């Protein structure tokens, strides 16, 4: 009996102790599991979601509001001709394996992006870096072949994080970076674990341990949050369930915006979509608000071009493609498709695509276009649509920030080839003054909107469901990231 008493006493004490100290571990769920753990060698957004600013850091970095601030580079100087960037690196930065991060590592990382066999998904962003030279261990000079107003922004991307030659070989399964968290374990198909890195150069995060879990099924996601198996779900997949979480005092719901332009991707080389009148007809056949209400339960901002509405340079071009089925029919008749035509509509798994696809198919049917839906898994979608370009229509959200330049690449999967636009992008890259850039960006947005390259639907919203006491999570997703640096539990 005494033994039992002592035992209960001890456990009560332990319980009290546990309650007194704030919780310092977190389990975050995201929908997709990263295919590998190399942000510099994979296009999957999930890689950045897990690793960006947690495990890996770049010379500059994005903050929660989308601003670009110094990262591993403490400061920089830009030469008057805009061609040379001299970065001063922070002191005392070490990789998780104990090696020092210095100018050699920066040179290695940037040279690796531009290497011939580079697998970097955003190679084009860094193509005009001609030379990276080590001035001294704390100073790096980056030389460009022409001024690039976006360089500091581009360097903040997850694709430009600093890696070490010592650990590069196993980066895909054992990432070693300079961030506040070091990678511990990856149980494929289930979770990734990381813990605070003692030797971190900056402010220590409040959390000591973090686990990322991958739950793709919306029903399972709902159950996991309800059962409090996860502390937060970033990018909750079922918008219809959010009101329930909002009404529940155990949870908080953050509805933010992303850089994801959700578009009806159109194969510009495949007849009949090579005719601008047909593309215009498709654009007028679509009722954006119905898609936002039906597929996203009202979350999302309508867009009229490929640009984020919360960006100051956004031009509202929705007027170019108002819902007008009669005009759509007239345009189809002009193009010689008075009786409509049949095409494919290939949909990846997210609900914006699957549900949005059903709605768009119904709207297209009203103007006589038959869109045959086929539902694809991501791997199939990448193979058939993105690489194979074997599609008529598709729906996908382009989540990269400031990615209007993809329209200058005629080999990109929707195959838009316009010399005027390509020249405009070159001009934009060479322009550094903000006003000039705004004007060029406005022109670029107008060109693709008036060319009806794709059907512009809405800016994807991101919803985060978290336990009530959790603070410091990003509201918006200026880049794909679940930055845990500033996350903590309320006392």
Partner 1 sequence: MRRNLIFGALLSVIFLLAALLSFIWTPFDIESLDIANKLKPPSGAHWLGTDHFGRDILSMIMMGARTSIAVAVVAVGIGIILGVPLGLWAAAGKGSWLDELIMRGNDLIFAFPSLVIAILITAVFGASAVNAIIAIGIFNIPVFARLSRGAALSLWERDFILAARVAGKSAFRISWEHILPNITSLMIVQGTIQFSLGILAEAALSYIGLGAQPPTASWGRMLADAQTLVSIAPHTALVPGFAIVLMVLGLNLMGDGLRDWLDPRLRVTRV
Q: Which residues lie near partner 1 (CB under 8 A)?
A: 218-219, 222, 238, 240-241, 243-244, 290, 293-294, 355, 357-359, 361-363, 365-366, 372-375
Task: Name the DSSP letter for residue 22.
Answer: P
Residue closer to partner 1, measured from CB, 293 or 417 = 293
Closest by CA to 421, choosing from 400, 392, 451, is 451
Q: What is the rounded distance in angstroms from the CA atom of residue 284 to the CA atom of residue 103?
A: 53
In contact, 164 and 104? CB cutoff 8 Å: no
Q: CA-CA distance, 154 to 65, in Å (whole number)?
A: 16
187 or 379, CB closer to partner 1?
Answer: 379
Provide the minimum distance between the beta carbon of 373 and partner 1 in the complex, in angstroms, as a whole number.
5
- Minimum CB distance to partner 1, residue 110 (Å): 42
Minimum Å gap between C-beta 370 and partner 1 is: 10
Name the β-bridge partners of 465. 233, 253
Q: Which is nearer to partner 1, 34 or 356 (CB)?
A: 356
Residues in contact with 375: Cβ distance below 8 Å, sequence separation at least 6, in sequence order: 347, 349, 354
Reported as type and span, the H/E element at residue 129 is strand 129-136
Residues 216, 30 contacting (CB under 8 angstroms): no
**Where would I find the H helices in 40-187?**
45-51, 103-114, 151-155
- Shortest distance in whole angstroms from residue 77 CB to partner 1: 53
Bridge partner residues of 209 (DSSP): 25, 195
Is the CB of 185 or the CB of 372 nearer to partner 1? 372
CB of 359: closest distance to partner 1 in angstroms? 6
Q: How far apart are CA 435 and CA 148, in angstroms?
A: 14
Compute the least distance from the CB of residue 3 to partner 1, in Å. Answer: 46
Look-up of token digits 């107003």: 149
Write down the least CB distance from residue 243 to partner 1, Å: 7
Tokens in use for 450?
């008036």
Query: In whole angstroms, how close is the CB of 217 to partner 1 at the nearest point?
Result: 9
Min CB(353)–partner 1 separation in Å: 12
Residue 118: which residues within 8 A CB-CB, separation 6 or more? 112
Minimum CB separation of residue 366 from partner 1 in Å reads 7
Q: If 0-12 CB within 10 Å is exposed, 13-18 middle and 19+ buried, where does residue 13 land?
A: exposed
Q: For partner 1, give the closer residue by CB, 219 or 322.
A: 219
- By the 8 A CB rule, do 307 and 313 touch? yes
Distances (CA, A) of 161 to 56, 57, 110, 156, 225: 6, 5, 9, 8, 32
Choose between 244 and 422: whose C-beta lies nearer to partner 1.
244
Pairwise CA distance, residues 144 & 358, whole Å = 47
Minimum distance between the CB of residue 218 and partner 1, rounded to whole angstroms? 5
CB of 77 or CB of 366, closer to partner 1: 366
Q: Please identify, using beta-carbon distances, which residue of 128 and 375 lies nearer to partner 1.
A: 375
In whole angstroms, the minimum distance from the beta carbon of 105 to partner 1 comes to 45
The upper half-sphere exposure of residue 343, i.e. CA atoms within 13 Å in the direction of its Cβ, equals 28
Choose among 263, 223, 241, 215: nearest CA to 398.
263
Neighbours of 79 (CB within 10 A): 13
The CA radius of gyration of the chain, in Å to the nearest whole number, is: 24
Q: What 3-state class would DSSP assign to 488?
A: strand
Instruction: Decide whether 298 or 434 has the Cβ nearer to partner 1.
Output: 298
**CB-nearer residue toward partner 1: 294 or 309:** 294
Per DSSP, helices labelled H in 407-454 are 419-430, 434-450
Number of residues that this document lists for the chain: 491
With respect to partner 1, which residue has the nearer C-beta, 65 or 372?
Answer: 372
Count of alpha carbons within 13 angstroms of residue 484, beta-carbon side? 35
User: Closest CB to partner 1 among 318 and 373?
Assistant: 373
């Amino acid at each position: 009996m005494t033994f039992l008493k002592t035992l209960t006493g001890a456990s009560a004490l332990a319980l009290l102790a546990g309650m007194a100290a704030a919780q310092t571990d977190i389990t975050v769920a995201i929908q997709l599991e990263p295919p590998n753990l190399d942000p510099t060698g994979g296009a999957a957004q999930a890689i950045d979601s897990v690793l960006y600013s947690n495990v890996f850091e770049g010379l500059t970095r994005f903050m929660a509001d989308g601003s670009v601030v110094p990262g591993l580079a403490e400061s920089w100087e830009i030469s008057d001709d805009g061609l040379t960037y001299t970065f001063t690196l922070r002191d005392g930065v070490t990789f998780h394996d104990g090696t020092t991060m210095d100018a050699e590592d920066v040179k290695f990382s940037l040279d690796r992006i531009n290497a011939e066999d580079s697998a970097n998904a955003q190679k084009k962003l860094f193509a005009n870096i001609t030379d990276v030279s080590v001035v001294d261990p704390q100073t790096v000079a980056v030389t460009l072949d022409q001024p690039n107003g976006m360089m500091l922004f581009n360097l903040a991307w997850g694709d430009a994080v600093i890696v070490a030659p010592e650990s590069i070989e196993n980066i895909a399964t054992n990432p070693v970076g300079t961030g506040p968290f070091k990678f511990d374990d990856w149980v494929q198909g289930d979770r990734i674990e990381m813990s605070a890195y003692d030797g971190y150069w900056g402010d220590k995060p409040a959390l000591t341990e973090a686990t990322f879990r991958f739950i793709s099924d919306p029903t399972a996601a709902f159950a996991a949050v309800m059962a409090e198996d996860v502390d937060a779900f970033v990018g909750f997949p079922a918008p219809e369930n959010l009101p329930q979480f909002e009404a529940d005092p155990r949870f908080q719901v953050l509805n933010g915006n992303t850089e994801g332009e959700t578009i009806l991707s159109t194969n510009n080389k495949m007849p009949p979509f090579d005719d601008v009148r047909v593309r215009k007809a498709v654009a007028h056949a679509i009722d954006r608000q119905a898609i936002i209400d039906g597929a996203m339960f009202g979350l999302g901002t309508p867009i009229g071009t490929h640009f984020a509405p919360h960006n100051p340079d956004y031009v509202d071009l929705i007027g170019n493609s108002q819902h007008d089925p009669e005009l759509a029919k007239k345009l189809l008749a002009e193009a010689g498709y008075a009786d409509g035509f049949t095409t494919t509509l290939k949909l990846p798994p997210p609900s914006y695509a699957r549900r949005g696809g059903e709605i768009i198919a119904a709207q297209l049917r009203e103007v006589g276009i038959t869109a045959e839906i086929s539902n694809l898994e991501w791997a199939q979608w990448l193979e058939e649509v993105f690489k194979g370009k074997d599609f008529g229509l598709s729906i996908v959200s382009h989540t990269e920030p400031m990615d209007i330049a993809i329209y200058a690449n005629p080999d990109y999967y929707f195959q838009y080839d316009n010399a005027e636009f390509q020249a405009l992008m070159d001009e934009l890259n060479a322009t550094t003054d903000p006003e000039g850039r705004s004007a060029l960006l406005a022109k670029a947005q107008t060109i693709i909107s008036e060319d009806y390259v794709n059907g512009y639907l809405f800016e994807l919203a991101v919803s985060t469901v978290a336990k009530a006491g959790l603070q410091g999570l990003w509201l918006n997703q200026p880049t794909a990231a679940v930055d845990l640096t500033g996350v903590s539990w309320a006392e």
